Structure 1
Amino acid sequence: MPQDTPNPPSSADEALAIVRSRYAEPKLPDGSPAPMHVHEFDIGYLVYATFPRTPDASGRPQPAQPGGSKIIVAKDTGETVTVPNFPTEAAIELYRKQRQANT
C-alpha cells in the first residue's frame, strides 16, 4: 500500500533513507546488510537490494533466487510503492501504468 511523506526526496540518498525508514533492511546469508541500489528515473527512484551470486557445489555461480520486490519512491510526493522484482525497466513501466491508472 502506498505511503506518503511530507518531504519528497531530492536525491538518490534521500530516497534510500525513506526506504530504510519504512521497510525492513534485507540481509545477506551471513546476517550482514545487503547492498542497496538506487536507480533514478524521471518521476522516481527504484530502490532494491542486490545479492551476490552464490556458488553451487561445483563452484559455479547460481542465478539469484526469484521473488521479492523492489520499491519506488515518487519524486513529487515521496510516496512509496512496491513492485515485483522485475528487471529495472519492466518494474518502472509497471509503476508508470499503476500511477496512470490511479490518476
Structure 2
Amino acid sequence: MTDSERTGSTPGLPPTPPPLPPQAEPTGPQPVPANADEALEIGRNHFREVGSPGGPSGLFVHEFDIGYLIHASWPRPEDPTAPPMELGGSNVVIAKADGEVSFLPNFPPEAAVELYHGTYRPNGA
C-alpha cells in the first residue's frame, strides 16, 4: 500500500500521523503550593532528574503574582558549535490559585511570565 492509498493521506505530502493517545485525567485535586519550595517539588515531576544523563543541571523557581515558574539550567555542551542533542524544552508554571500545571516555551523567566499572563485561565473560567 502506498502513502497515497492510505485514508487521510494526500499525494505528494507525508502520511498523516496517527492520532495522539488520550491524556490521562488527573485522579484528584492538584496540590496547591503554599510556597516556592512546594512548587519546586511539584515541578520536579515534570523534568528529568537533576544530574541524570540528558537531565538538567539544576531547577529554579521564579515566583510571580499568580504562580511559580519552574525553569531548568543545562550543562554546557562539550562542543558549543554542535546542534543540541535534544530540541525544545519547556518551563513549568504552577498556579497559586488552584495548582494547575501549565507548560510554556523555554523563554527567559520574564518573557515566560508575560506569556503566561496572556494565556492563563483558571480551571472553570
TM-score > 0.5 by shorter chain: yes
Q: Which residue of 2 aligns with 1:85?
A: 106
SS of 1:82's partner is strand
Contact 2:94/2:102 (CA < 8 Å) preserved in 1? yes
Per-residue displacement from partner, 1:63-83 (whole Å, max 9, x unpaired)? 895621000001111111000
TM superposition shift of 1:33: 5.8
Q: Which residue of 2 aligns with 1:9?
A: 33
| Alpha-carbon distance in 1 for matches of 2:60, 2:70 | 6
SS of 2:120's partner is helix
Note closer, same or farther for the CA distance 1:70–1:26 as it changes in structure 2 (3 Å cut): farther
**Which structure has the highest helix share of the two?**
1
- 4+ aligned runs moved over 6 Å, structure 1: none
Unaligned runs of 5+ in 2: 1-22
Relative to the length of structure 2, the TM-score reads 0.61
- CA-atom RMSD in angstroms: 3.2
Unaligned runs of 5+ in 1: 57-61
Instruction: State how many pairs are aligned.
Output: 96
Note closer, same or farther for the CA distance 1:25–1:32 as it changes in structure 2 (3 Å cut): closer
SS of 2:98's partner is coil
Aligned identity (percent) is: 44
Note closer, same or farther for the CA distance 1:33–1:91 as it changes in structure 2 (3 Å cut): closer
Relative to the length of structure 1, the TM-score reads 0.72
Higher relative contact order, structure no. (Cα contacts within 8 Å, ≥ 6 residues apart): 1
Note closer, same or farther for the CA distance 1:10–1:27 as it changes in structure 2 (3 Å cut): closer
Name which one, 1 or 2, has greater alpha-carbon Rg: 2
